[in-house]
Structure 1
Amino acid sequence: MKIITWNCNGAFRKKFESLTDKNADIHIIQECENPAETKDLNYKNWALNYLWIGDSKNKGIGIFAKENIELKLLNWSDIYKDHKVKHFLPCKVNNDFNLIAVWTHKNNSPNFGYIGQFWKYLQINKSRMSNSIIIGDFNSNSIWDQWDRWWNHSDVVKELKEIGIESIYHNREKEENGKETKPTFYLHRNLSKPYHIDYCFASKNHLEKTSNFVIENFENWKHLSDHTPIIITFK
């Protein structure tokens, strides 16, 4: 199975065809339109098997799969102490494993933006996360850890590891968090401002089945987005 995650930077209806030659089984796309409300027939016909959530019809997160793959939406909570966290889209794939698509937000929180949102989601649903792939745009890296917080990126990585879930990139590349040599995002598409903020975390059984992990060359994608696609292949 081949999975792609990509923050398309909006207007995915005009960009989805750039991914077709990758022949992925599942696409996790951040900042994409809701196929149910688009007027673009090509996009609608491409998105025949999908799940989607978002704040507006023009910008959300979607899971798009080939027609022979079953996506079953999971009824996991996204409410932490009366506050809704976003955006997290969990599903069961082929009744086999959990796939949690991620696009973290500031969510108007002065303290718990981005990785803080995922930290809260993790506290709510940690007991459900065995046999899972957690993938997407986390808008986060250990370089932004703050000394007086317990929901830093490094803390989240540690908590995931305690339940048997690790970053595939770091597992394969043997690099420390915060010292990644391969960026996934360039601020304002500026090559002098590279960051690693997109991840694929996976349970041990999926880590062991990973046969390939590719961060695409940004030069080939900068005309479309400030993020580059990540392609993961599992045996």
Structure 2
Amino acid sequence: MRIVNWNCNGAFRKKFSLLQQFDADIIVIQECENPERSNDKLYKEWATNFIWIGENKNKGLGIFCKDSLKLSNNNWETNELKYFISATINEDFNIIGLWNHHANSPTFGYIGQFWKYLQINKSLMQKTLIVGDFNSNKIWDKWDRWWNHTDVVRELEELGIRSLYHEYFNEEQGEEKTPTFYLQKNSLKPYHIDYVFADKKLFESAKKFEIGEKNKWSEWSDHMPILIEL
């Protein structure tokens, strides 16, 4: 199974064909248009098996699957946290696609949004993949908050869910050597903020974990696509 995650930086209708090279079974996209409300014929024809959420029809979160897979919305509670899709693949395992937002929260922005989502749905997170733009890294931890990036990673590990990147490359949180994001597409502002977490019992170590190179992808987005093969 091949999975791709990418914050496409908008206008996905003009970019979806770039991902065909990965032959992915599941694609999680942040900042994409709602196919149902798009006027782009090719994009609508491509997006035949998907779940999309968002307040702006031009910039939301989507999970797109090959037609051979059964994609079912779990409709787990979100309490209007932004943005989370929970779904089942082939009635076999769960996938959570996410795009962490500041959400106009003075306290629980970004990783705080996921921390709250985790508290609500922790008991349901069995046989689960978590894929997305977390907008978070250990380097931004604040010592007096219990919903730091480090705390969230610890809670996931207590559920038997670990980061595939860190396992594959044997790197520690906050010490990632390969960026997934370049602020303002600036090579001098690299960050690692996109992740894939997977249940240890169901998913063995990744067979492949690749992050797109800036010189190939920065024309299209400030985020690099991630490819995982399980």
* TM-score bin, normalised by smaller chain: over 0.9
Instruction: Work out the CA distance in 2 between the residues paired with 1:193 and 1:207.
Output: 33
Instruction: Work out the CA distance in 2 between the residues paired with 1:130 and 1:21.
Output: 31
The Cα of 1:209 is off from its aligned counterpart by 5.0
Q: Any residues of structure 2 matched to 1:65-144 within 5 Å, and which? A: 65-79=65-79, 84-144=80-140
| Structure 2: gaps of 5 or more residues | none
RMSD (Å) for aligned C-alpha atoms: 0.8
Corresponding residue number in structure 1 for 2:27? 27
Q: Any residues of structure 2 matched to 1:207-218 within 5 Å, and which? A: 207-218=203-214
User: Could you tell me whether the CA contact under 8 Å between 2:164 and 2:205 is conserved in 1?
Assistant: no
TM-score, normalised by the number of residues in structure 2 = 0.98
Corresponding residue number in structure 2 for 1:149? 145
The Cα of 1:56 is off from its aligned counterpart by 1.1
Select 1:180's aligned residue among 172, 176, 183: 176
Instruction: Work out the CA distance in 2 between the residues paired with 1:210 and 1:56.
Output: 34
Give the secondary-structure state (helix, strand or coil) at the position aligned to 2:179. coil
Corresponding residue number in structure 2 for 1:8? 8
Give the structure with the larger strand fraction.
1
The Cα of 1:175 is off from its aligned counterpart by 1.0
Whether 2:161 is the aligned partner of 1:159: answer no
Corresponding residue number in structure 2 for 1:53? 53
Give the secondary-structure state (helix, strand or coil) at the position aligned to 2:20. helix
The Cα of 1:219 is off from its aligned counterpart by 1.1
- Give the aligned residue type for 2:222: D
TM-score, normalised by the number of residues in structure 1 = 0.96
| Structure 1: gaps of 5 or more residues | none
Instruction: Work out the CA distance in 2 between the residues paired with 1:3 and 1:205.
Output: 18
Structure 1: 4+ residue segments shifted above 2 A: none
Instruction: Work out the CA distance in 2 between the residues paired with 1:38 and 1:201.
Output: 31
- Give the aligned residue type for 1:211: K
Corresponding residue number in structure 1 for 2:228? 232
- Give the aligned residue type for 1:95: E
Instruction: Work out the CA distance in 1 between the residues paired with 2:203 and 2:167.
Output: 8
Corresponding residue number in structure 2 for 1:37? 37
